[in-house]
Amino acid sequence: MIRRFPFLSRKLQPPSVRHPALLQRWKKSNFSCALWAPSSTVRSLATGTVAGHSSDDDPSLSDNRQLERVSVQRSDGEMRWRYYKGFPDGRQELPTYVRQLGPAVLANPHINKGTAFLWSERERFHLRGLLPARMVSMEDQTDRVVEEFREGAWDKAARDPNDEMVSAGLTPDNIRKWEYLTGIQGQNETLYYRVLLDNFEEMASVVYTPTVGWACMNFSRMFRVARGMYFSSRDKGHMVSIAYNWPSHEVDAIVVTDGSRILGLGDLGMNGMGISIGKLDLYVAAAGFHPARVLPCVVDVGTNNDKLLEDKNYLGLNQRRLEGEEYLQVMDEFVAAVKARWPKVIIQFEDFRTEYASKLLERYRHHHLCFNDDIQGTAATALAGIYAGLAAMDRPYSDIRHLRFVVCGAGSAGMGVVLWLFKAMEKHGAGPEEAARKFWILDADGLITTARGDSFDETTRRFARPEGGDELNDGANVEEVVTKIRPEVLLGLSGAGRIWSPETITALAEGTERPLIFPMSNPSHKSECSAEDAAKYADGRGIFASGSPFEDVTYKGKVLPSNQSNNLYVFPGLALGAKLCQATLVTDGMIMAASEALASCNHPEDLVKGRIYPGLSDVRSISARVAAAVMRQAHSEGIATHPKAVAVMDREARADDNGEEEDDAKRIVGGVKQTLLETYILNQMYDPVYAPLAYVPPGVLE
């Protein structure tokens, strides 16, 4: 509720309200009202209502008054809100008295200023952390609205032949669908998630990759309604108190990014918030997290993207990125703040650049419940695809130790996949040296060999090939390596676009009967090859899986599946399992269990056709199976702490030991046998339906 009061009481009203003849005497007095004058710079007294609004108190105001806009600059450099002066009677804007704090202020269209809230107002109304760091004026907002009105983001992109998302194949229809769904989400979350859940297979590519890439690139330009929390290096020393500006006392999952490496689009700074929002939409739809208990976050430490720094619409900090110890201190404070506010929350690190992704994961994973999706989620999904590919060839999972891998991309995601495949080989009996010899890794400079010395971290050096070994020198290109090695698997996590030539794919197919072709870079135009190229140059014999979606390909009258090796198969279920059993950590064993569970979701008839990832029409059943495997592994490692979840797992184990097939131990759903634990997990998932509502007065049940 808001009301406009010229002053607190009639005694404090200006004489013009009670008697115009007293106006001059009252104006000569030294009285001032600090309630509505936020700084010493703006102390002139207001004697009327809001400019442009009618006044019941003083009908004598002329309708043709002229307004003079004045900018007020504080000594500390903060830009104050524009105000009006120059009325014939000295009137000026009076404050609106607000009885709300935090998100309620942003949700009220009568008082919301969006990113134009002053820093002092953000502090006073508990808005700090709920808006991007940059403060803009109303004139800036007006210019942005008019610009968008006259030419939308899509129209502007379509005029630019170098626009990345246009070249990726994104269409106006993708943007239309995204904007419409986003509008529904802002008005009715229950309806939004009902629609998304019921049409997940169709809509996943709109709310996530590849459309989410466009949403991130245009995040500042399209900013409408604040969602999530915006921490920045400017908040250093205050993050714990800022975390309490979020109204919910219960948050189960946080996805956080620093925007430094969004998909394959590079440094997008604060605009990376779009990926945190998109990921958590999948947490809700795919894994049944409650939308009121997930929190997208961005830690804005600046950007090295010159285009953003020069963009007047960019809402992030206009500074170069923090580096080194200064950067790590900001991240340390963020993690400490959210864990202090929500001790049981699971944190997913998303799209951090290579220099810090592994460093941050190792910094926190042994003490906090967290994981990095780019490193661990991508690796788990890739391993599941390799396992399923072996199953499609009627080979056991243990044969992974005999496969040879050529990997393009030595960043955090690429090396995360390599390390995970290496661990799978060790699990199936390969020694460390034997497993390491199965990899040929290429970066932007070509094949990595020992000739580069100590220019890489310890993990990458472990897989460096001997200089001159296999008759390949340092820097050999992918075609040379594939032609010489004849691997069974070609993996791409380079983000470099179409770097696999027809000759490369043909050489791969000549060396094995069913080559596994995995161009996993995102978005689609960053993929190392297309599904059509893989089908054509591998003569239709390859098993194809990409990071972003491609249409199935018809080759010589046969439909070849274009599988999508998408992390959404793993990270929602992984987070759900860790949350439901209240695991204290996310261990390698839990992630390995997630890989094997995902691989087991494929039906034999699909594997025969080369379809190595399950359909998404029943994505929650997939997440439930992944979550169940994660929970069982956590229980076996002694880190599952939720009593009820532990009791269910113990009961299920006893039933399995006794060979029981009780109705309450297993049931058939959709032709698939569902375990007791999977049933328990599905029952814990949020179901987007309209619930009965009851009014509770303030202070009751709080």
Question: What CA–CA distance (Å, rounded) separates 181 from 193?
Answer: 10
Beta bridge partners of 346: 253
The residue annotated as part of the active site, out of 113, 192, 230, 279, is 279
The two structure tokens encoding residue 259: 């925007």
The two structure tokens encoding residue 25: 């005497």
The two structure tokens encoding residue 262: 């969004």
Question: What CA–CA distance (Å, rounded) separates 341 from 330?
Answer: 17
The residue annotated as part of the active site, out of 84, 192, 208, 686, is 208
Does the N-terminal peptide bond of residue 103 adopt cis geometry, omega within 30 degrees of 0? no
Q: For residue 89, what are the CA distances in angstroms to 17, 21, 60, 132?
A: 12, 12, 10, 38
Amino acid identity, position 310: E
The alpha carbon of residue 32 and the mean position of all alpha carbons in its chain are separated, in whole angstroms, by 48
Q: Is 701 left (phi over 0), alpha (psi -120 to 50) or beta?
A: left
Q: For residue 27, what are the CA distances in angstroms to 34, 363, 602?
A: 16, 63, 81
Nearest to 255 by CA among 297, 300, 207: 297
The two structure tokens encoding residue 531: 């599904």
Give 197-266 as a DSSP string. HHTHHHHHHHHSTTHHHHHHHTTTTT--S--SEEEEGGGTT-HHHHHTTS--S---EEEEE-SSS-TTS-
Residues annotated as binding site for a divalent metal cation?
A: 350-351, 374
Q: For residue 352, what are the CA distances in angstroms to 300, 416, 519, 547, 564?
A: 12, 13, 21, 18, 22
Burial code (b: 16+ CB inside 10 Å, e: under 16) for 476-486 equals bbbbbbbbbbb
Tell me whether residue 279 is one of the annotated catalytic residues.
yes
Residues annotated as binding site for (S)-malate?
A: 261, 522, 566
Nearest to 186 by CA among 269, 288, 75, 109: 109
Task: Determine which helix (DSSP H) or strand (DSSP E) holds 573, and give its type and residue range.
Answer: helix 571-580
**For the range 689-697, what are the long-range contacts, defined as Cβ-Cβ under 8 Å and sequence gap of 24 or more?**
689/190, 689/194, 690/190
Within 538-570, where are the H helices? Answer: none
Amino acid identity, position 559: V
Nearest to 262 by CA among 250, 278, 246, 249: 278
Phi, psi for residue 650 in degrees, rounded to 5 = -65, -40
**Taking the C-alpha atoms of 680, 683, 686 and 687 in order, what is their torsion angle to the nearest 10 degrees?**
150
Question: What CA–CA distance (Å, rounded) separates 377 from 644?
Answer: 27
Task: Determine which helix (DSSP H) or strand (DSSP E) holds 380, and give its type and residue range.
Answer: helix 378-392
Task: Determine which helix (DSSP H) or strand (DSSP E) holds 349, and give its type and residue range.
Answer: strand 346-349
**Please, are residues 584 and 373 in contact by the beta-carbon 8 Å criterion?**
no
Beta bridge partners of 449: 465
Tell me whether residue 208 is one of the annotated catalytic residues.
yes
Give 628-669 as a DSSP string. HHHHHHHHHTT----HHHHHHHHHHHHHHHTT---TTTEEEE
| Nearby residues of 645 by Cβ (< 8 Å), 6 or more positions away | 580, 581, 582, 631, 680
**Taking the C-alpha atoms of 196, 199, 202 and 203 in order, what is their torsion angle to the nearest 10 degrees?**
-10
Q: Which positions are annotated as active-site residues?
A: 208, 279
